[in-house]
């Protein structure tokens, strides 16, 4: 994996980040606000609002492979912490609460901690893919301009994270031929559907309130997961570095 390329990408991605206009009038109808806000409060916790680092007990076996990898992991998680900051601004804009625990987040962290860094990286990759579906739906249906602008910023970052995960997996020699390749893709797809279902169970009321549907969510999540799998199968060449402000769907 070309680590210098990713360090340069993450450093460049910190530039040109127009802050959403949080002082603009709130345009969310009252009936939509409560379920949408509940979803955003939980998402703030899950997207960088908890520990902004790898937390698997054996995390150093990945993080300390090289000094460059350590730097990339830190830069990646710095962007996740930035997502929590942006979501916190949206939560405060709608007069919500900054929550610090939720049963689903506690279970998520426990699995990440106990099941090893390889599993943690897969879970985080899948989370980034299904979160992309979530943010795309919010951006599409958002009745609030600053909230849509927040999604635009986060989607730009997640496109980079997904491309990084693709490069990382390809560099680690993920099986892509024969029965082993088929089994790997199947387990990744099934785990991806599990991650999508966890997200839908917790966030369906918020997504439905703004006009989203289950079919739309699963269609979007499945598309993201399958595109990732296909891009890995094609992967003899390095993942393209996302251009600043490129639409995320063109990246993975």
Asked if 176 is part of the footprint of Fe ion (rule: CB under 5 A), the reply reads no
Residue whose CB is less far from Fe ion, 80 or 220: 80
Q: Taking contact as CB under 5 A, which single stretch among the options 13-21, 160-168, 189-197, 233-241 is the one that binds Fe ion?
A: 160-168
Selection from 191, 217, 200 nearest residue 122 by Cα: 191
* Residue 124: CB minimum distance to Fe ion, A: 7
Q: CA-CA distance, 167 to 249, in Å (whole number)?
A: 17
* Residue 115: CB minimum distance to Fe ion, A: 19
Q: CA-CA distance, 25 to 43, in Å (whole number)?
A: 23
Residue whose CB is less far from Fe ion, 161 or 168: 161
- Give the one residue of 41, 82, 120, 128 binding Fe ion; rule: CB under 5 A: 128
Q: CA-CA distance, 239 to 86, in Å (whole number)?
A: 27
Asked if 47 is part of the footprint of Fe ion (rule: CB under 5 A), the reply reads yes
Q: Other C-beta atoms within 10 Å of 39: how many? A: 22
Contact 133, 120 (CB under 8 A): no
Asked if 120 is part of the footprint of Fe ion (rule: CB under 5 A), the reply reads no
Residue whose CB is less far from Fe ion, 33 or 72: 72
Selection from 199, 243, 215, 148 nearest residue 46 by Cα: 199
Residues near Fe ion (CB under 5 A) are 47, 80, 83, 128, 158, 161
């Amino acid at each position: 994996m070309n680590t210098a390329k990713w360090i340069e990408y993450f450093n460049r991605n910190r530039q040109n980040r127009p802050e959403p206009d949080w002082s603009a009038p709130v345009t969310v109808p009252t009936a939509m606000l409560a379920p949408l806000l509940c979803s955003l409060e939980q998402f703030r916790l899950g997207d960088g609002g908890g520990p902004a680092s790898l937390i698997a007990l054996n995390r150093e076996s990945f993080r300390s492979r090289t000094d460059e990898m350590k730097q990339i992991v830190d830069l990646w998680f710095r962007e996740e912490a930035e997502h929590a900051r942006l979501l916190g601004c949206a939560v405060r804009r709608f007069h919500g609460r900054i929550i610090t625990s939720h049963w689903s987040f506690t279970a998520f962290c426990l699995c990440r901690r106990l099941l090893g860094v390889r599993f943690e990286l897969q879970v985080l990759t899948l989370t980034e893919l299904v979160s992309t579906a979530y943010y795309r739906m919010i951006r599409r249906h958002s009745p609030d301009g600053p909230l849509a602008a927040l999604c635009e910023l986060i989607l730009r970052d997640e496109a980079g994270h997904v491309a990084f995960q693709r490069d990382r997996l390809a560099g680690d020699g993920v099986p892509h031929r024969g029965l082993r390749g088929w089994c790997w893709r199947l387990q990744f797809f099934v785990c991806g559907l599990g991650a999508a279902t966890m997200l839908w169970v917790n966030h369906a009321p918020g997504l439905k309130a703004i006009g989203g549907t289950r079919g739309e969510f699963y269609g979007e999540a499945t598309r993201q997961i399958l595109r990732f799998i296909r891009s890995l199968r094609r992967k003899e060449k390095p993942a393209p570095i996302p251009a600043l402000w490129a639409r995320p769907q063109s990246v993975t």
